[in-house]
Structure formats: structure tokens, C-alpha cells
Chains A and B, each alone.
Chain A
């Protein structure tokens, strides 16, 4: 390996090549924490030109690379298992050339999501892609996984905010994709092929992102529900009455975990089985009147049993804690996480079937449900019982996978809604994609990466 290091340190400079044990472990894995990282060394290039030179050398010497962002992924997409060279883009964290007419901004791949959100606010604009790990995740990683999060209902996914990409190919060529255009009907849109490709087709070094207006007076309602059977009615009902920004749900068990983990007050005097957290724009009295009337009607229809509403920005944030604090409050168990999606109209039925399956076959396991009802994305978390060893628990969960995915397949659902496939889900890709689709995807991979050096071993078996 040392000869390799010399080739690369000539490009990035010795101080940006990391080889010590802690760095290898840290840069070699994401938050999935299921694999033992084993990268050869870490490179921290500072420019697109450096990444291009790195890839030219890697291609010539057939050295596999793993691109690395904030490493907050949960599917093992950024894990280096087999002596790959990790290319961390964290030094490319500059935001530049804001254009107020186009409302676009150019970000290095290493810009942290929250950094872009805050930059947008300074321009009196808004970057709407948001999720619990926004304080650590990178824009480059968001693009690689087409990150979604809590505002997808209104604002869509990362894909919807990328108007230009700078891509370094396996051979080190530099491509500028779509170049910030709004309209561009000139054949295959390679930009969209790259978004969500998990670093298997090229390395994104820079992105032009578009910004939008800030939501007006976002207000949060927390609703208490006895069951989820009427939840799609609720969604339609509130969607017609107000401008929804988010429509999230969580189970009572999930709330219990947050209340135990965080020092927050109980939201309702009486417990319910499920809760819906709804955020909407409340611009003026009329919008608020309409929201209140919609609540009254829903209560009359017995679709919900109680509700709260934020009276200040502070309270809106306090209410979000009940939803956003869930992942953190169960992380120590550790949970078996499943990020799956069905059509929003089928959430209730699907959830019932899976819940039934898990309760029947794994009566000792505790299920924590939460997710984004508004876009059909559910997070099923099964908690490890205290008396069960970690390896046993992992094995039992792996056995449950095919059954859960078979139910999912019957709903035409997705085995990975927003976390990506990476290593964790690659064995199950065929539950969501047909054989022909997978063959086509593999031939695309070969076209972009003929000698399989870009994040090898991810996505496909």
C-alpha cells in the first residue's frame, strides 16, 4: 500500500492523508454500525481538480474508492469493508455564488445540510429538505441517497432542489450536469441518474441547489388518535383545509421512549394509541380559522380524540421534539431499523399487517412505529429485548426480513424509502425491483464504472 499512498499524497498533500487507527474506523463507516470498517487510508481532497486526479490514479491502478460525506447514513452505503480508499469531501464545504434571480447557490459536496439551511435564511429564503441528522449530514451525501425527511409532503426530496451537479467519473473526467437550468429537454438527464446512486456511478463534488420562499408562520398541531384506520381520511381532510408542511405519526410506545429519554412534559393528560404531528402554514386569521374548523369537524367525525396547537415558535419546536427525539431515544437498545414506503393511501392497512406479523411471531419484541404518513414512508423499529444477545437479535431480525418484505411486495412498496440500499438492503433489492430492472441498473453501473472501483459491493448482490 505505501506506494499507493505516495501517489495520492502527491495530489492532496501529506497532511490530508489519514492513516491512524481512529481515523480509519471513524471515516470507514456510517451510522449503521453493523460492519467492521477496514479502509486502507483516507484522502481529504480540497477541490474538484484534486478529486479528478485521485480518480485518474485510482482508475489506472484499479484501486477501489468509497466516497464519504457526513456518514450519517443508516444503510452502510459509506462503509469501506475491503481496503478501499475513502475519499472524504468534508473539506469541500464552501457555499458560493448565490444568485438572487435564479435563487440558486453553489455548494461544495461537504457543505453540511444545516449550513445550507442557515445560509438560505440569511438570504431571506429557505432550503426545505430537513431531517434529524441535518446538523451532520453533507449535501453530497444527501444527493447520493436522494435524502427526504420531514418536509417531503410539501417540498419533495433532495432531487427536487438540485439544478446542477459537478461529477467526477471513474476515469477522472469532470462533468457539469444540467448547469443550473430549470428547463433542459436534451435527452437523458444524467443529473437525476446520479441522484440516489449511492456513490456507485461517480463522485459528486459540487452541486447547484435551488432555494424557495420561507413558509409563513409555520404552526404545529399534535393530534391524539385511537387507531390509524382513519388516518388517510385525516390526511385528505386536513390537506383540503390547510397548507400542510408535514404530516407525521408515531405510536404511543414511541412517545413513551421520548418522555423517558428527554426531560419533556407529557403532551396530553390522557394517553392515546397514536399521535399525528401536523405542521401547516398559518398566514393570517383565515388560515387559522380554517385549521380550527377542520379540527372541529375531524373531532365530530371521531377521527381523533384530542389535539394541541403551538402558540409560539418555541412551542412548535417543543412539539417537534416528540417526533424528532424518537430515533435518539431508542438508539441504545439497539433497534432493528426498517425504512419502508407504501402509497400514502395504504399506510393504515400495511401497518396493521406488519404489526400483526411481528406480534404473532416475535411476541417478546417491542415495536416502535413512526414515520411520514403524508408520503407513505414508515420507520419500523424493533427493539432488542434486554435478555437477548445482540447476535441472536440480529439473526432473528434477519429472519423476519423476508416476511416483512413479502408483505411489502404485495403492496408494491419500497424496501428503502429514503435511507438507500447500501450494504444493509442489497440482498432484498428484488422485493422492490424486477430482475430486468436490476439487470438494466447493473449495465448502467458497468457503463459508468467499467472496472468496478466506485463504491463496489453496494446496491447490488
Chain B
């Protein structure tokens, strides 16, 4: 039992915005009201001055399970999630073995029940082994608990196969997510193709490698009616294409990551070739970052996801060209969203909650968390005033490959409640 006292309860989707108490009992929200008395044995959280929101969900996370536990495992990955304020994550299928059949989906879900600290919803692969050749068993994976399909990291190269995948996925009501990248354009590149890559002598990844696949996916979504979700938007023309697609009535959603709305390719030079600036798609130019901010503000970009991509230091302390793509994100996402989007007024607090809770759930067909009596108690409490410094030694993730280490941010997750269990308080993980 948990009694959250005196917080600002804010759930725009349910039309809730009031300072009140909230009682959690048996995994559900049992009561909402003012002056609620703490039942015998209830843990009381004083949320005065804090924001109590429906639980945040990150639909783009690499848990590295199964097979790459040296980068992250079920416990450390979900610990990073709850420390970052997330009640649940969608985990990507580029594991070893690939999550491309019901048995592996089942394994991940069981492991999450045993060792996880938050909800874990697996994404299945679109194609067997992520090889881009044959469709995986989407129906069986859905029955086993997969919530969507994606070949994240190894996007389906053939437009014809992607079309088949969309037609096939639609009958099972599975969202098709795409890491949009035409590898024939991007191959060999390690950072954004532009004046900074010219100066640093690093092979570039042109924005068009993303855009041609985004255009393809939107057109295919229009034809097939499949729900399509564009992962980690990185370029200004991608934002423009999605705006156009939505106007045309395509069932398309998209996400932006904190690093794409915060950083530009200039940081690769400023950080002197630090491979903590290497990710795919790459951080691009200021005009791209501005377009992403506009897309976030006007709703073209539906939601925030992190593409949390833990890597061992051995895969990062090497030559830029050879280093692994990806950075961690779960533990810095809320801080960056508050500091870089909310405080400067790019989005409002209700928009932030929609972008981090309601819409992520909806994008993958889950019932969104809600602050309603009877709803599951998946709750994120925010401290919008707390100023804190990102420190590697405090991170719960097994990997520390973040370009934001050392940054000072204002705004932090304060508590995470998952299915009625308090899993984080004041950025300290509470494990059973």
C-alpha cells in the first residue's frame, strides 16, 4: 500500500489536473481525493510540489537480452528504466538469438517476471534473423506477448518485402516500427554527412539515407493501412515528410530521442572524437535539431523514446570508425525533456506527459496508464525543480556510454511505481 500525499495529479488524457492524494492498493489505484487517511502499514510519499503522472513508457530500448548480457541484463536494464522514471519499456529484437519467434518472446517475458523491475514488452523482428529476407512468425509472437515488430538496426532493405510485412502485420494489429535507413546510402558512414564530418575526416551518413525510407514507409502505410511508427527521427526533411504523411491520412507515428533534440554534430568535434557521440541515426545539424523541436511542439512528433543502447567500454574505447553505434538514454531522458523542452516552453507539462506516457502506450497498442480509480498503479512522480548532475557512477545501467555525463540538468524523476510496487524514490532504485 502506498499513499501519495498532496501531489499535483496530472493526466491530460483522463482530464485530471488537481492537487490531491492518491492511494495505491493491491496493484491498483484505490482512491483519489483530498485528505485521504493512510491505512495501516501504508507507505506515505509526500508529493508536495511534485507532479504525479501516469507512468512513463519508453518504446525504444535495447535490453540486450538474450545473449549480450555483458552490455546490459534484465535486472540492470530495468533498474535503469525505473531510475529514469519509466514503468515499462519495449525491448528491441536485435539480440542473440534474435527475438523472431514465440519461444524467444516467451523467454524474455519470463525473465522479466523473474528479474525485471518494470514492465517489459518485447518487440519482435519483422524478418527472420533480421536478415531482410523472410517474414518472421508475427502472429505467434503476438500471441506470446510481443507488442510490435521492427528490424531496428538492420532495416528491411526491400520495399516489396516491407509492403508484405505491413499487409501481414496489420491483420494482427501489430505496429510496424522502422529504423529508417537506406544502407546503400549510409554504408561506411560513422557520423552525420556535413561540414563537421568534412572537417574531422569521418565518413558521413547523409540525411537522405533516412528520408528515402521514411517516404517509402509513409506511402506503404497509406496503401496498406498498417500502423507504422518511424523510430528516432533525425532530419528536418523527415519531420516534413511525416507532417505531409499525417496530412495525407497515413496511420503513421514517430518518435524523437533526447540526444537528437539536444545535440548537433558539432559535439563530435567539441568532444574530440569521443565515441559517446556516435549513434545511428547520427545527431545532425542545428537546422535539423530546430525542425525536431518544431515537430515536437506542433505534435508532428508524437512521442519521446530514448533508443537506450548500452555498449561495453571495449566497444567504445576504439577508433571512431570502428566503435559501436549507440548511447544509453533511460536515466537522462526525463531530465533532458524537462530541461530542454519543458522549461524553455517548447512543450507544456500536459504535452510532456502525453509524449512520455499516453502516446508511447498507444503507439504499440497498449492501454495507456491513467490516474483513474481502478486503473493499474503505474505511476511516475516528477520533481521539476530538482537540479542534479549526471554521474556515471550513479547510473543503474551496466553501461555508461552517455555523452551527457557531467551535464547538470533541472528536472528529474522523483518516484516510479510499477504495478503498485515502489521501484524508485529520489533516483534510488528499490529492488525486492
* A and B co-occur in one complex: no
A residues lining the B interface (CB < 8 Å): none
